[in-house]
Every structure is written in structure tokens, then in C-alpha cells.
Structure 1
Amino acid sequence: MLDKTFDPKTAEPRLYEAWEQSGAFAPTDDPAAEPFSIVIPPPNVTGSLHIGHALNNTLQDVIIRFERMRGKAALWLPGTDHAGIATQMVVERQLAEAGNMSRRDLGREAFIEKVWEWKAKSGGTIVNQLRRLGASCDWSRERFTLDEGLSAAVRKVFVQLHKEGLIYRDKRLVNWDPHFQTAISDLEVEQREVDGNYWHFAYPLEDGSGEIVVATTRPETMLGDTAVAVHPDDERYKHLIGKCVRLPIVGRPIPIIADDYADPEKGSGAVKITPAHDFNDFMVGKRNNLPAINVMDEFARINDEAPAAYRGLDRFAARKKIVEEFESLGLLRGIEPTRHVVPHGDRSGVPVEPFLTDQWYVNAEVLAKPAIQAVEDGRTVFEPRNWEKTYFEWMRNIQPWCISRQLWWGHRIPAWYGPDGRPFVAETEEEARAAAREHYGRDEPLKQDEDVLDTWFSSGLWPFSTMGWPEKTKDLERFYPTHTLITGFDIIFFWVARMMMQGLHFTGEVPFRRVFINALVRDAEGKKMSKSKGNVMDPLELVDEFGADALRFTLTAMSGQARDIKLSRQRIEGYRNFGTKLWNATRFCQMNGCARAEGFDPANLKVTLNRWIVGEAAKAAQGVTQALDGCGFDEAANALYRFIWNVYCDWYVELAKPILNGDDAAAKAETQATAAWMLDVILRLLHPIMPFVTEELWSQTAGEGAPRDHSGFLMTAPWPDLSEGLADAAAEAEIGLVIAAVSEGRSVRAELNVPPSARPELLVIEASADQRRVLEEAAAVIGQTLRVAGVRSADRAPEGAIPFVVEGATLALPVAEFIDLAAERARLTREIAAHAADMERTAKKLNNPDFVARAPEEVVEENRERLAEAEAAKAKLEAALERLSGVS
């Protein structure tokens, strides 16, 4: 007999260890099995499980468990990303805390050893946390982006792209983090709104005929100005185009140029152009052949390109000094406070500088064309399909991809420089030396490039490098291309697009057939979770409190494609109760002798109730299968919830009680076998979403008479394949009538406050002969579930009876003796008025454009929901009052 309750704290670790030790997470070796593979979006090796990970990995586990049960060779390939800047930051911080040391104090090799030591001790945290969530990855294939095999793939890709002219070195602007002294990607830049100023500076015309005023939020960059731009159609400045101004402080003459970038409606209409320190200015400089003068070093200090008085100053100290000097020169024309967006390094927290420097680039435009084509022709599809628009927009406007990083932790760029600075790109130093020897005619000392590759470069190879490419491995042959990628929308460009580009270029195949973009998890009010708001929900704490199954079901049920997830503890608690409901239903079946029968055939049942439930099971199985097949995770979860709670537990179990307690031995035996068979179907259908409780019930309910396939794990049991022929229209109509009668009768009792102890009769006033027969034969179960004294036919409803219609039949409940009809009418009228007043207040808010525009999105949505709830409640009360209108 099952324990009274399921204890996740003890059961979940035990079950997971048994699964993993059995090897059941690995794909079957059956050569006839259809391959189905997914690769995990590799979490940072520094990471710990957050709620976004929990959602993403739950959905991956749902689909892999589903396909495994369908008999496919299901591979979920796990691993972690070396996360260059994040990992280096962790270890550098540890060095500083332990002995006030920096990586430069240690030197490159010793520092890298320290990082590997940290990785060995702490780098697997998130992997073990994924196990707690129930992730059924094939851990025997776990990879790390700095594994030797993956590193070899990275080197080969770099060298090949370089030979093809698609990787090159260039001097361009990058996002520069002065704290880490490295270029960073757009994804690592956080836009923060800060208080600042517009400083209005006058630049005197070189001929002494006047001045032109420019405004800037970054005065320190003016030291590198190489032009002032005005719009070509701006009448105020047409006569100045082609003249020069004398750049204050620096003394350099710079031209006034015409360029559409200058906005006549903004400020003075004239803008300073600093090509080496602004992305827009860089493009203006390219168009107008302007020099680009970098006035900062890698620490964002003023360099030797500036006047001597500024050299070595921090950028913000230089800013202050420049403003003071403009004022002393009489050239400061105003200071205008403003609130503006400033890019910051997401990990360092310092303002990022656009920085002109030599970096390695990929010609992404060339690689993007086949990747665009692959989505256009449907070789890879996005779900929801609207994300294809985002993908196309990014890909069709793609810029050169900066792939070098000034870090020590990562894939070192396979380029060696000769004494004249000539690079020799090769997979090994030996190959580079051979190329240099051929070039110079003798051995020359070579020095390897100090930079490492952008983390996205190696993770862009993930779907095929993890399977052994460039070797032609069995895994690569069998499991590539992968089938489905499940990921967040925020890395469509940074990761998904790069996998598409590199996968097609190096394998000739798309890396995945389908990309499912999961939702964003927000708090219960719809606000984005953040530590600063104090609304972060730790998935591990939620697992401790409610169990992994409850969290998994919540995330799956709320993962609808068109909306974000509003997560609350109450919702998770509700789905934990769902698991408890199933547990209790299983205990009920055990206590009532429900056991699996060898040779049970659901197509040969005699009892109407049993024919009905197997038909409902067939419909549920078909719906869940179709939903999961199409990544309709929420549809599958909600269909299971309705079927298990409402259909099986609330109706079948209740309606079966009179049979199980009755004297008809044949009907009882059939119902016991059907209930047990139904539980097996339910456990299989629910397992992908709630693997722990279903596996426990599966093992705990296996008896001597269990079919052979019940002796193994539920996770490897076959998926229910139920024939549509199990649906029985006659049984469905009969049980549907009983359920409708009880449901509507309960509504009448609830709406009119009929006491639970009251036992009126259920009267059948108008009905067909079949309907009367069904209702009278079900009198015992109706009496028990509706709390009525009996069921009988009557010619008309007596005084004080409340009539209601179900399935075309008119029924009635005589309740006048149990309630005060006048008092009920008064109560209903008051409550209807209260809801009407609430609706009026809420509608007034929502009809106010100012409220809708200014109020936070979650507040507006909350009011819409409140209005809808009030409308529904009012309609229900009005229907109840209408019932009483003809009752005296």
C-alpha cells in the first residue's frame, strides 16, 4: 500500500540516481529506432540554476522523455560553456580576495592553471542542479567548450575561414570594457539610464568670422574630433560647409562637412564627429574619409594623442578638466541637465567605451546568406513563427563580427606573428613555423596572438563539435542535424544565428530542424525578476519547498507561446496539489482492489462508465501527443490537468464508487481492471512533465499480475497509443448526461446557498425515454455526488423548485423548504449591484487613454482581468436571480 503522501525530498534523489545508474538516459542502440536529438544551450560554467534555466531545461526534458517513450533513439546532449569573461572575473576576484593579486602578477600560464583548478572544483555546480530538476541528459556525452576535441574543431574552423578570406584582421570600433581591458559583445552590454549633461561648446571658425556650437554628453572625446557635421539642407550652415574650425584646447583645424547624420531639429543642428570614439561617428568618418584619432588607452585614460596636460588622466577626470578649460576660454555656451542611456559592461558595471583597435573579424554577411535561405525555404522553422521576422531582420542587417577578446581564459587565437608583424594562421605552432620558414627562407622567432576567441565563436559550433566533428563519428552521422533547439529569444542572434551560419558552412546541413523560443519568466505581477527588485525566485528553493514535479508542471502549463510566465508560489502549490490528487486517486484504487489484469482489452468492456473513460483516455492521449509533437507544452499540460483531475479523479472515480461497493461481481472486476489500466495510461502521459511522482507510482503499483513492460522504468515504457475506435458515442452521451445533471445541480445549490445537509429530490420534468432511463439507472451515483434524496420523474416542477436544462432535458430541484427565497433574491440583487459598480469603476480607468499610457503594463493588465472577472461573476449571479424569477 502506498504511503499517505509522496515525499519529494527523499524520493526524487533516489529515483534520479536509479535512472542515471541504469544508463536509461542514453539513446537506444536499436538501429531501427528513429534518431531524435537536442543539444542543451550550454550554461556558463560559472552559473547556477535560475528560473529561466528551469523553464528552458524543463521543456527540453519534457520533449526528450516524450520522444524516448515513443521509441526513438532520443539523445539530449549536455555540456557547459567556458564563459570567457565571466569565468576569468570569478578567478580574478578570488585572487584579489586571497592575496591582493592580479592575473598579471601570476602570469598567463599560472593564471590559466588557477582557472582550471577552479573549474575542477566548482565548475559543475549547475550540472548537479539540473539533475535536481530531473533533466534526463545523457551525461556520458557531457562536453565542455574547452575540451580538447571541441578546441580542435575551433582551430580548424578559424583556419579554414581565414583561408577562405572570411576571417580577417581590421581596425574598427568595438565595445570596450576598460575594467577588463577587452572588447565585449553587444550581448554583454547593458543599457542603463543615468543622469548627465549636454555641454554646449563653441568651436571658433578658423578664419575668425564666427563660431559653431556643438553639444555633447562626453566632453572627453572632443580631444579626438576630426570634423563638425551639419545637414546638407540646413540653411543656417550651408555657407560654412567646407570651411574649418580650430578645435579648442587641441588647436587642430577640422573641417565642417555635410552629412545626413546631422539632425537640424536636434540641438544646434551641428554635431562634433569623433570617429574613434562613437559608432555613428565612425560611419560618418568612413563616408567622408576622415581620420580616426584614438585618444584613450585600454584603461580609458587619455593617451599621447592629446595635449600633454591631459595625458594619463582618467576619462572622467579629463571630462571635468575639459569643461573647466572651455569655461576659462569663454567657449562654454551652456550646460543642460539630461537623463540619457549609457552602455555599461554587464559584468564590470563600468561605462563601455567605443574604442578603435585592431581585432579579428568574421565576414558575417557572406555566412548569413545561406542561413537566411535555410529559414526562408523551411529547412529550419521557428516556433512561434513570428520570431522568424526577428531572425531575418538581424541577419539581413548583419555587421562584421568581432571575434577577438583581450582575455586569457578561452580559445587562444591560432595566429603567430613574425618579426615584421606578419600573421601566420595555422592549427598548430609547428604548421605556423613551417609557413613562416617558407615565407622568410629561414627560421624566425614567432609570437602567438595574445587574444582569445569570443565565447560565441566556439558555442556556435556546439551542435556538431559536441558530436565529434571534424571526425566522421557515429554520433555525428546518426544525430546531426539535431531536431529541436529550445532557447530564449534574447540569443536568437548571438547564438542561434551563429550556429545556423557555421553549421551550414561546415556541414552543409542546418544544425536543427526546429527552433522553439520559450517565454520569459516574470513574477506574479508580471515584472521582470531582478535582484535589485527583490523578486527573484530561486528554483532550487522552490524544488525544496514543493518538489521538482510541481515546479516543472507549473512552468510547462504556463509556457504558452504568446505570453510571458507570471510565476507565483500559489500557482506552484496548486500544481503540487494536483500531484497529491493523483497520489490519492492511486491509493483509492489500491484500497478498492484495482489491479492490472493480464490480457485486459479496453475495446471489450461492458460497463458504460468504463467504456466512457477509455474513450476519454483515447481522446486525451491523442490531444497530448499532438500538443507535444508540435511543442504545445502548455496545451499538453493543461489537457492532462483537465483529464486527470476533472475527468478521471472527479468523475470516473466518484461514479465508480457505487460499482466498486456494489454486488455485481462482473461489473466490479471490470471496473477494478479498468481503473488500474487507466492509471497506467495516466502515468505514461504525465511522466514527461512530472517524472518523479509518476515513476514512484509506477514502481509502487507493480504487482505480480503486472504486464511485462511494467517491470522496468516508466521513463522507458512505451507511450500510450490508443485507438480512436475506443471512443464510444453512446457511453459518452449517457455519462455526459449524468455529469451535466450533477454539475448543473451543484451550480444551483451553490448559487442559491442551499445548505450541504439539504437532501431535495432531483426531478426529471421533460426528457426522452433514454434520458429518463439513464438518469434513473444512475440514481445511486447522482444521489451520492449531488446530495439528493433520489431521482424520479414528474409531470411538472412543484412550487419552490428550481428548473434547469441539461442536454435538452428539463430537471428541477425543489429547494424552497431549505432556503429563504426572498432573502436569496435580495442577496443576489445586492451582489449584482456591487459587481456592476466595480465594473463601472474599472471600465472608467481602462477607457482613460492617459491611464493606459502611463500605468505600468502589469497594472493595466490587472485591471483588464478584474473587469473580466467582475463581468463573469455578475453574469452568473444574474442567471441565478433569473432562476428564482419564476419560483414562488
Structure 2
Amino acid sequence: MHPPTTPPTGDYHPDALDARWRPWWESLALHAPAPTLSPDTLNHLWRASKFVLMHIEPWQPHPWELDALRLAPADRWILHRFDALLASLSTAATQAERLADLERWLRRDWCTWYIELSKPVLYETEALAPLGGEVASSRAVLAHMTGWVMRLIAPYAPQLAEAIWQNLPAPCRAPWVSVLLASSPSPVTTGRFDASSRAVELLIEVLSALLAIRRDAGLGQLEHIPRVATRVTEEQRAALSGLLPYIHSIARPRDLTLTTGEGEKEPPGARRAETPSGVGLVVELVELDALERDAARLRRELGEVEEAMGYVRARLENPLFLERAPADVVANERERYSDLRDRQDALQEELEGVDAWIHARA
């Protein structure tokens, strides 16, 4: 029998009720809900996992030995970042901090940048030579890393982790039949890829700036940026020079230069950007044929202005016009001639700049 919910006598406000008259279930200490990954992170993880499962076939059994793998720079970077994540998780003070660190790593490093940076190796055979990687090694990293990621997220998303785990190749799951029985992953690289990781972080800054400019300019996925000029230090140039295939594949510039000086004068229609590490970018968004059309337009406008100037100059040089025309009309014609001359100078300067860029791009 439940205790009464109101005192037997008297008129009391509910907030003033004695604890012994409150319903018994109000005193139960309910368990807090189990921590879980956000729906947005789970969506990112599901799409990234589908990409991995689609591109690790045909699976070639590969022993997991770093010295036996020909790793591309992005492969070395994600392994280094995975070790950094494990170190961060081991030192997190609370469960909330651990979950936040895991979500940041999943969304930025794994689901976004590593998946994007793996595409040049998986799709474009001509990019393999300068990057120094091979398809089999990148597939091995994708598959084994997915298994390690599933072991990390199993406490927070067990259904998703188990569904992906069961579709991985057997070497990535051994010796556990279920991800719920697997132990936590261990560090992989022990700090051997520090320099490569710093170079790829610089690459990610450059790609982020270029992709933002592409998005703001409304460029389609298959459209090229006509030209990108970068201002870098000698150290940054050495780091980026071996990663240019990534920039060409993802940001799609037709022409890319790395300069260590002050850089060139900004061309017509260009966008400027600077990365947090100080890499300056000048991005030309106008094609050569568009510059040629612009030069033709400027010449046409310049001819019209010079024709109008000739007409006004002839009137001002006519003694009869100066003698018979009212003073305000003469003043207006002189002001008009001055405006036309200013317009002529501006058009001439703009045309010279466009012609200089056409000559440089030809």
C-alpha cells in the first residue's frame, strides 16, 4: 500500500509538504543515461565506414608491420594522430572529456580529412609515385584503423560498432568474434611519424583555405581553379613540396606555385587568404579567355571615351563656341572633359594590368 500523497488534515502548499508525505517514487535515485556519441558524429562515422568497406576490396591479406608497409603521408599522419588520441583519452579527467576528445578526432581526423586524403592514392595511380604509397598499404591502414576505431566507440555506440565490425576482413577482427569482447587498442607508431604529421597538418590548413575559397566562389566539384600562388617560408616549402598531389587532387588548381618572397601583385578577380601557420595564398579565379574578353571590353570602352573626348575638345577649341555659348555651358563642357580624361586614365591603367597578366599567363 502506497503512503498517502497529502497530509490527512490541513491545507498545505505542495512545496511545503513534509518529505514523508511525498510519493515514494520521488525519492528513487534514477541512473544517469549512458554516454553516447552525437547523432551527427554517428552519421559521419557511418558514411566513412561505408567508404572504407567499399574501397578495401579486393582484400589482400597484409601482415600489420609498419616496416613492411609503403605508407603515403596521409597514412603516416592518421597513425600518428591515432596515437595522440589514445594518449589524450588515457589522461582525460572525466568521461565527458574523454567523449569530447573522441568526437573531435572522429569528425575531423578520421571521417573528414583522412578519408579525403586517401582518395588520391585509391583513385589516381599517377599520384602514387610522388606520394610514395601504394594501394595495398592504404587499404591495410583503412581496414585496420576501422577495426581500432570500432573498438574505441563500442562503449558509446555498440550496435553501430558491431555492425561494421562484422563486415571487416577477418585479420582486422582476430582474435575476437565480437567488438564487444575486444580490448582497447594500443599505440601504433610510438612517435616515429612526428615530422610527417606536422607536414600534413600544414597541408590541411592550406586545403581548408582553398576549399573555403572554392565554396565562396561557387565552383563546381569538377571545375578547376585557374592559378594558386603561395607565399611560404623555406621550411614550409620543404614540407609542402612532397604533398602537392594532394592539393592538385582535392583543391584542383591548374597551376600551383610555392614562392618564398613577397609574392606577386594581386591579379584581377583574385582572392587572398592566410592560414594559421602564415602561408599566404593568392587564388586567381578568372580563366585566360575571360581575361582576354575583359581586355577587349576595356579597349572598346577606352575607344568610346576617347571619341567623346575628341568631340568635347573640338567644341572647347572652337572660338565661336567659347564666344557665343553661355558661361555655364562652357563650364559644364570643361568639367565633362575633365571627367572623361580621368575615366581614360583609369581605363588605361586597368587595361595595362590585364594585358600584363595575359602576357604572364600566355
TM-score w.r.t. the length of structure 2 is 0.63
1:689 Cα deviation from its structure 2 partner: 0.5
Residue 13 of structure 2, aligned match among 335, 338, 341: 341
Q: Which amino acid aligns with 2:274?
A: V
The change in CA–CA distance for 1:747 and 1:708 in structure 2 (over 3 A counts) is: closer
The change in CA–CA distance for 1:727 and 1:620 in structure 2 (over 3 A counts) is: farther
SS of structure 2 residue aligned to 1:726: coil
The change in CA–CA distance for 1:621 and 1:589 in structure 2 (over 3 A counts) is: farther
Aligned ranges for residues 416-427 of structure 1 at < 5 Å?
none
1:610 aligns with 2:79: no
Residue 636 of structure 1, aligned match among 71, 79, 98: 98
Q: Which residue of 1 aligns with 2:243?
A: 778
1:588 aligns with 2:50: no
Contact 1:602 1:614 in 2 (8 A): no
1:645 Cα deviation from its structure 2 partner: 2.9
Q: Which residue of 2 aligns with 1:649?
A: 111
**Counterparts of 1:670 and 1:731, CA distance in 2:** 17
1:776 Cα deviation from its structure 2 partner: 4.2
Residues 121-164 of structure 1: per-residue CA shift (max 9 Å, x gap): xxxxxxxxxxxxxxxxxxxxxxxxxxxxxxxxxxxxxxxxxxxx
1:653 Cα deviation from its structure 2 partner: 2.0
Contact 1:734 1:774 in 2 (8 A): yes
Q: Which residue of 2 aligns with 1:177?
A: 4
More strand by share: 1
Contact 1:765 1:797 in 2 (8 A): no
Aligned ranges for residues 87-486 of structure 1 at < 5 Å?
177=4, 300=8, 341-342=13-14
**Counterparts of 2:120 and 2:167, CA distance in 1:** 26
**Counterparts of 1:701 and 1:680, CA distance in 2:** 7
Q: Which residue of 1 aligns with 2:264?
A: 796
SS of structure 2 residue aligned to 1:792: strand
The change in CA–CA distance for 1:810 and 1:603 in structure 2 (over 3 A counts) is: farther
Residues 14-68 of structure 1: per-residue CA shift (max 9 Å, x gap): xxxxxxxxxxxxxxxxxxxxxxxxxxxxxxxxxxxxxxxxxxxxxxxxxxxxxxx
1:753 Cα deviation from its structure 2 partner: 4.4
**Counterparts of 1:672 and 1:798, CA distance in 2:** 42
Contact 2:143 2:169 in 1 (8 A): no
Q: Which residue of 2 aligns with 1:598?
A: 63
The change in CA–CA distance for 1:811 and 1:579 in structure 2 (over 3 A counts) is: closer
The change in CA–CA distance for 1:667 and 1:782 in structure 2 (over 3 A counts) is: same
Contact 2:231 2:279 in 1 (8 A): yes
Contact 1:761 1:790 in 2 (8 A): yes
Could you tell me which runs of 5 or more consecutive residues in structure 2 were left unpaired when the two chains were aligned. 291-352, 355-362
Contact 1:802 1:812 in 2 (8 A): yes
Residues 45-94 of structure 1: per-residue CA shift (max 9 Å, x gap): xxxxxxxxxxxxxxxxxxxxxxxxxxxxxxxxxxxxxxx73xxxxxxxxx
The change in CA–CA distance for 1:631 and 1:594 in structure 2 (over 3 A counts) is: farther
Q: Which residue of 1 aligns with 2:193?
A: 728
Contact 2:144 2:172 in 1 (8 A): no
Residue 808 of structure 1, aligned match among 272, 278, 283: 278
Q: Which amino acid aligns with 2:150?
A: L
Q: Which amino acid aligns with 2:179?
A: L
Contact 2:225 2:254 in 1 (8 A): yes
1:777 Cα deviation from its structure 2 partner: 3.4
Residues 387-406 of structure 1: per-residue CA shift (max 9 Å, x gap): xxxxxxxxxxxxxx97xx9x
Residue 167 of structure 2, aligned match among 695, 700, 704: 700
**Counterparts of 1:723 and 1:762, CA distance in 2:** 39
Q: Which residue of 2 aligns with 1:684?
A: 151
**Counterparts of 2:287 and 2:243, CA distance in 1:** 25
1:793 Cα deviation from its structure 2 partner: 3.6
The change in CA–CA distance for 1:609 and 1:811 in structure 2 (over 3 A counts) is: same
**Counterparts of 1:575 and 1:656, CA distance in 2:** 20
**Counterparts of 1:758 and 1:706, CA distance in 2:** 38
Residues 460-489 of structure 1: per-residue CA shift (max 9 Å, x gap): xxxxxxxxxxxxxxxxxxxxxxxxxxxxxx
Moved more, 683-692 or 808-817: 808-817
Q: Which residue of 1 aligns with 2:122?
A: 660
SS of structure 2 residue aligned to 1:556: coil
1:623 Cα deviation from its structure 2 partner: 2.2
Q: Which amino acid aligns with 2:145?
A: M
More helix by share: 2
**Counterparts of 2:212 and 2:143, CA distance in 1:** 31
1:706 Cα deviation from its structure 2 partner: 4.5
1:684 Cα deviation from its structure 2 partner: 0.8
1:695 Cα deviation from its structure 2 partner: 1.1
Contact 1:761 1:792 in 2 (8 A): no
**Counterparts of 1:701 and 1:658, CA distance in 2:** 23
1:342 Cα deviation from its structure 2 partner: 2.7
Contact 1:658 1:780 in 2 (8 A): yes
Q: Which amino acid aligns with 1:586?
A: V
1:615 Cα deviation from its structure 2 partner: 0.5
**Counterparts of 1:648 and 1:790, CA distance in 2:** 29
SS of structure 1 residue aligned to 2:257: strand
Q: Which residue of 2 aligns with 1:43?
A: none
The change in CA–CA distance for 1:623 and 1:808 in structure 2 (over 3 A counts) is: same
The change in CA–CA distance for 1:816 and 1:341 in structure 2 (over 3 A counts) is: farther
**Counterparts of 1:599 and 1:655, CA distance in 2:** 21
Residues 692-744 of structure 1: per-residue CA shift (max 9 Å, x gap): 111121121133x456324x211111101216723622111211121111101
Q: Which amino acid aligns with 2:95?
A: G
1:620 aligns with 2:85: yes
1:755 Cα deviation from its structure 2 partner: 5.5
SS of structure 2 residue aligned to 1:597: coil
Rg (Cα) greater in structure: 1
Q: Which residue of 1 aligns with 2:333?
A: none
The change in CA–CA distance for 1:602 and 1:644 in structure 2 (over 3 A counts) is: farther
**Counterparts of 1:726 and 1:778, CA distance in 2:** 21
Contact 2:120 2:245 in 1 (8 A): yes
**Counterparts of 2:120 and 2:255, CA distance in 1:** 14
1:576 Cα deviation from its structure 2 partner: 4.6
Q: Which residue of 2 aligns with 1:709?
A: 175
The change in CA–CA distance for 1:582 and 1:813 in structure 2 (over 3 A counts) is: same
Residue 743 of structure 1, aligned match among 198, 208, 217: 208
1:619 Cα deviation from its structure 2 partner: 1.2
What root-mean-square deviation, in Å, do the aligned CA atoms of Structure 1 and Structure 2 show?
A: 4.0
SS of structure 1 residue aligned to 2:196: helix
1:603 Cα deviation from its structure 2 partner: 9.9
1:575 Cα deviation from its structure 2 partner: 4.4
1:669 Cα deviation from its structure 2 partner: 2.3
TM-score w.r.t. the length of structure 1 is 0.28
Q: Which residue of 2 aligns with 1:556?
A: 36
Residues 307-327 of structure 1: per-residue CA shift (max 9 Å, x gap): xxxxxxxx68xx9xxxxxxxx
**Counterparts of 1:696 and 1:768, CA distance in 2:** 47
Q: Which structure has more RCO (C-alpha within 8 Å, separation ≥ 6)?
A: 2
Tell me how many residue pairs correspond in the alignment: 280
Q: Which amino acid aligns with 1:341?
A: H
Contact 1:615 1:726 in 2 (8 A): yes
**Counterparts of 1:726 and 1:602, CA distance in 2:** 14
Q: Which amino acid aligns with 2:65?
A: F
**Counterparts of 1:771 and 1:722, CA distance in 2:** 28
SS of structure 2 residue aligned to 1:802: strand
Contact 2:152 2:184 in 1 (8 A): yes
Contact 2:89 2:101 in 1 (8 A): yes
**Counterparts of 2:198 and 2:187, CA distance in 1:** 20
